[in-house]
Amino acid sequence: MRPRKTILCVDDNEQVLSIRKFLLETRGYRVLAVTTGHEALEILRDAPLGSIDLLLCDLLLPQMDGNEVVRRGKQLHPMLPALLVSGTVTSFERASAADAFLPKGAFSPAEMLDRIRILVTRKRGPKKHVQPAVLDDIAIAS
């Protein structure tokens, strides 16, 4: 069985956060759900590099917007992919720190899951091709 991928999910709306957490956990992801950017950054500060596979964050958060959370999160974990979501489609230009952006209400859960799968795969990097073992004449003779 493959190890579960960990997603740090940030949204100040607890109902949306709960639904998103349920959706992701039923697809096999481990979800760390928090309601503020400060909580998310605390988790990232304490987490070993590479232990979190995706930052999924709402753009409009109180005190610190999602773009700032992503920017600071990438300072702590440079290879961390980030997906920002927002209820305002016009907020896309403000979402410059993220790897991807989805406008709330304009995408289906399947589209979000597909985008998450792509970002998590990208973080892991391309599959390495294993060279077939070359047998030495000496090893064959023995």
Within 13 Å, how many C-alpha atoms sit on residue 140's CB side? 5
**Residues 66 and 56 sit within 8 Å (Cβ to Cβ):** no
The CATH number of 6-141 is: 3.40.50.2300
The pLDDT, as a whole number, for residue 136 is 43
The pLDDT, as a whole number, for residue 124 is 56
**Residues 42 and 16 sit within 8 Å (Cβ to Cβ):** no
Full pLDDT tens readout for the chain, 142 residues: 566 899 999 999 999 999 999 999 999 999 999 999 999 999 999 999 999 999 999 988 989 989 999 999 999 999 999 999 887 655 555 556 788 888 877 778 888 999 999 999 876 554 444 344 444 444 444 4
The pLDDT, as a whole number, for residue 26 is 94
